[in-house]
Amino acid sequence: MADSDLSPVTRWRRRRRRRGFVRVEVQVRKEDAGLLRSIASALGDPVREAETRAVLRETVAPPRTGGLKALLEQAPLEGIELARPRDPDRDLSL
């Protein structure tokens, strides 16, 4: 199918996708819809995007902890017996 045969909306969405944009659908309360539209607009504006992203990460997004490995490294494991005695007669067929 030639690009000219596609609807204008489809062509616009393809152009946006090539520029790195993705379509996201969220469901929010009616009173929050305008706020989310403003946030999306600010993130799409080259002048305001960096500042908006920084503010949102600072106030809304939780800090990344590094995953399970980092969590286990920080856990106080003193006094906890981690070794387990071998039990060759244990049934493993469950």
Number of domains in the chain: 1
Expressed as residue numbers, the domain containing 26 is 3-74
Domain membership flag for residue 85: no
CA-CA distance, 81 to 37, in Å (whole number)? 53
| Half-sphere exposure for 86 (CA within 13 Å, toward CB) | 1
On whether the pTM is more than 0.85, the answer is no
| Largest CA-CA distance found in the chain, in angstroms, rounded | 71
Tell me the residue type at 11: R
pLDDT (tens digit, 0 to 9) for every residue of the chain, 94 residues total?
676 789 999 999 999 899 888 889 999 999 999 999 999 999 989 999 999 999 999 898 877 777 888 877 888 878 887 787 887 887 777 6
| Residue 67: per-residue pLDDT | 82
Domain membership flag for residue 80: no
| Residue 49: per-residue pLDDT | 94
Domain membership flag for residue 58: yes
Domain membership flag for residue 21: yes
